[in-house]
Amino acid sequence: MIEIQTLATGSKGNAYVITDGVTKLLIECGISFKAIQKALNYQTDDIQGCLVSHEHLDHCKGLQSVLKAGITVYTSQGTKDGTGIDHHRIKVIQNKQPFQIGTWIILPFDVQHDVNEPFGFLLQNQGGEKLLFATDTYYIKYKFTGLTHLMIECNYCQSVLDSNVESGRVPVFLKRRVMKSHFSLENVLEFLKANDLSKVQEIWLLHLSDNNSDEQLIRNEVAKLTGKMIYIP
């Protein structure tokens, strides 16, 4: 039984904890380990690994303190290079090469973001549940079957972003950057349409922009399309 906990999400920091009841993992460490400890009521001794998708600070700001706490971090060579941190507890993983942490088999896959070598992660436990984690990407080129849990970015709504550009709140260059590095509601809906959602129990929509998203619109559109339980932390 997969349980998901959001410790932080968004441009100020991202950190999530997942467990299948046996193996607890941290995904992203964009906040300090002290903050992670506090959010988990200091129950962190059983964290068996941390997955880091890319080197932007809102996803890896706490990397040094997580390593110092004795937690092994799994990430791409490009992300490791991008952080500038060399540590024996950083394990480099390869695109589309599965590896195992406890009861999880994890498949990293390439996503589209303006960094060195960003990854999404497909995680499967021994009970056959499959969790997809993908953030900071403007689309996902792969299709997945048998998913039971989704944790995906839904950063902005095109209509809200366009309105902010027209009003001068968002400069045009920033609009271009957002559209080439983050998942829009519209692209999330297309991704959901393209994938097998028959076994999906929960959809977690992550990393909403403070300025360029409409949470109620996002919730309504995804719920209307999928008929699934929607969480927006």
Q: Is 2 in contact with 129 (CB distance < 8 Å)?
A: yes
DSSP E strands in the chain: the ranges are 3-8, 15-19, 24-27, 47-51, 73-75, 90-92, 99-101, 104-110, 119-124, 130-134, 149-153, 202-206, 229-231
Asked if the model's pLDDT at residue 187 lies above 90, the reply is: yes
Q: What angle do CA 206, 209, 211 make, to 5 degrees?
A: 155
Domains parsed from the chain with CATH numbers: 3-231 (3.60.15.10)
* The pLDDT value given to residue 109: 98
Tell how far CA 125 is from the center of its chain: 18
Asked if the model's pLDDT at residue 98 lies above 90, the reply is: yes
Tell how far CA 144 is from the center of its chain: 16
Number of CB atoms found within 10 A of residue 36's CB: 25
Mean pLDDT of 124-129: 96
Q: What does the CA dihedral 90, 96, 97, 98 come to, rounded to 10 degrees?
A: 90
Distance (Å, whole) CA 154 – CA 136: 9
Distance (Å, whole) CA 226 – CA 205: 13
Strand order of the β-sheet with 90-92 is 3-8, 15-19, 24-27, 47-51, 73-75, 90-92
* The pLDDT value given to residue 6: 98
* The pLDDT value given to residue 224: 97
* The pLDDT value given to residue 227: 97
Asked if the model's pLDDT at residue 31 lies above 90, the reply is: yes
Distance (Å, whole) CA 112 – CA 68: 30
Percent of the chain with pLDDT over 90: 94
* The pLDDT value given to residue 177: 87
* The pLDDT value given to residue 8: 97
Is this model's pTM higher than 0.85 or not? yes
3-class secondary structure, 133: strand
Q: Is 93 in contact with 99 (CB distance < 8 Å)?
A: yes
